[in-house]
Structure 1
Amino acid sequence: MDYSEAVERISRKFKKSGNEINREKVEVKLRRLIEEFGVQPAEAERSVSNELAKEFNIPPAIPQGSPGSGSASGQKVIADASPGEWITLEGKVVSLAAPASPAIAQSGIVADESGAIRFVVWAKSNAPKVKEGAWYRIESAVVDEYKNIPNLKVHSGTTITEIDKTDPLIPSPALVKDLRPGIGSVRAKVIQEWEVTHDRMLQSGILGDETGTIKFVIWKEQGKEKLTVGAVYSVFYAQVDEFNERLSLNITGATIMQEEGDIATVTGGDAEIRGALVHIAPGSGIIKRCPVEGCNRALSRQNYCPIHEIQPKFLYDLRIKGWLDDGEKTHNLLLKRDVVESLTGINLDQAKEIAENNPLGMDEVFLQMREKVLGRYVTCKGREIENRLLVNSCERMHFESGEHTKILNRAGGAP
């Protein structure tokens, strides 16, 4: 996002009163509010202007007592909240989440016109229960940080009062590439659904728009439903987390609305890796999948789905899970059916015939595929997510013997 126009407007405003601003510092503050806290640009500009007005002892344009004016009570808008502060705010509880610990009475997200912040109500605070969708005045709460994300903590000294307010809050969705840790909103398409890796997980996969892709997860809670692959959704007030320098969206408590239309171009994360396939993992070859619509999970040897139990009318599929070594790093790969067929020369019908008629069954398919690809040099292209390359295409390399000799000499320490 280009902040130069906003910085110029702020500069002109204060030049009229004979004050010069530090443009670099102003841009840093705007960037932090918009990119880290999800504040709308106009609100961020207003907040920075008010802060500069205080610095230059200029009377604020906003009347005292209104949200964001900085009254004696310490009332602030959420965008102005900084870790280490005791603040008072008025906001709407836009979502509630199941407490992660007995020490927590309630947790969720509170929002106002300027942004949103995650809150935690400690059980020992004896605070009144808040309701999703209601507005509250929260006095003397503490702002701290968790995983570098601001959080609002309600303790025994905090006062919570429901207020008579029904203002709707509809945040502007950000582009996927502009999401930052904290609370964010996005309009995106469900590109892919993954196998769940935890009993409490309802769904995980990939969301994307014209600018990039991001992992999402929905945890099992009453009333939560799975998203449809290929559909477009507006997701409001999702929790944007960061792990190993990768962002992900926890949309369990978010407001989700399916939209009409489509997102024509989805990009992001394309990678090309060349090297040798040094390991083909168990679970490769021909597998069985759950036939329940929207599930598609891999079944156990006993045709058992972790969600839908025994599935005698399973569907066959092909995949390869393995490692590719490029000489410097080992990459975790996942090859889908069409890539497996192209690379091994064994299609799904042939694999089914082998599995159903050979004494070793499905194991024979695994062994034949491993024989065809293990140790081969390939070029794989796909999307790298969570340290795994989801391969869209994979071609064999015609490796030059001279290059092979050079590599062996280097490995042996030869000059």
Structure 2
Amino acid sequence: MTLRAKTLAAAAGLAAFSLAALPALAQDTIKIGNIVVTTGFLKGPGEPAVHAFDIAVEEINAAGGINGKPIEIVRFDTGSDAKQAAVGVRTLVQDENVLAILGPFSSGETRVALTMADRFGVLMIPTAASAPDLVAESKWGWRLTEDESKQFSRLLTAMKDAGLPMETAEIVYVSDEVVSAGAGTQLYPALMEKAGIKVGEPIPVQYKSFDMSGQAAKIMQSNPDLVAVAGLPDSASKVIKELRRQGYEGRIIGSQIFADPLIVELFGPEGNGTMVVAGFWKGRTEQSAAFDAKLLERLEANGIHKLGAHHSDAQAYDGVYLLKQVMEAAGVTGDPAKVEEERAAILAAMDGVTFDGIVGDDVCFDAKHDAELPGYVIEIKDGAWTKFAEAPADACE
């Protein structure tokens, strides 16, 4: 069987939708909503995850689907506009009768969409949203993503255990990226101070700025042991290259925000020594490596250049398989007359669930609906994406 999909597109500020393909009859399929981003400033990290979703759906459908029925993906594109995520939930639930929703991609989009998911009573599993406590107050929001604060703490612990210089630090953040700004002004300072690192006042830069010489010069005045950068890969690259151009020789670090293997190429020689924390390691299992290879082949065929799967890609893939597991446990049929009943059954099946995937084994969810996942501290060493340390997943209470 092949992937059956319908795509709903949203342009910023518009509520018009375009149909890319006619859906199969709802009673013959299991309809899953998928809020994605393929345009706007989130396109770079967001588009590969769409292909990761599709790989999982194709595999599951080829193996017989869910309870004998193929998955039908109904996709809504936010265009990187957080407000459109709420429109996406309403459209997918009210107009398309989906049983659950995978996505949205980012924390900003998820914050907006969660209110609608709770209002309509539909399980939502964000893709890459890692802001602390993001789904803690939501009944219907669960995430197969590790909390940003926990992952960044693992990075600092690994560095301390290795005896790396880390007495002083400066923070640079991209002020017009919601997640980056939050990390740079709240998460990084608190965690670094807790680790005993003397931190200066966070320094803002703008995503569209081409000249970051002033900010770099300010950092060079204190010449800290560490510079923590909060920004998406393109933004982080600009900061790092300017710092190196001005002669900074200390270590540059970051969290999951730019933990993409592509940064090895994007940062160039200036990136050597950079350390980040990621939620996926392709060498973890044979299945993890197989997914990485399959995704890269698919992306290349679609004109998307990558050096390896980002953890958001792996989480997208595993999210489909997690839904398959809980939907089978809930005995879903896809019958439109039972849609509300089956949505509730899916949520009930999430309670106490454990899951084996490419991101981890025996994955469980804590009281805040966050998955407990391992963390991988990565160092760019000699131009390669190298595992520096590994932290096991915490146990669920």
Say yes or no: TM over 0.5: no
TM-score range, shorter chain: under 0.3
Q: Which structure is higher in RCO with an 8 Å CA cutoff and minimum separation 6?
A: 2
Q: Work out which of the two has the higher radius of gyration on C-alpha atoms and give 1 or 2.
A: 1
Indicate the structure with greater helix content: 2
Indicate the structure with greater strand content: 1
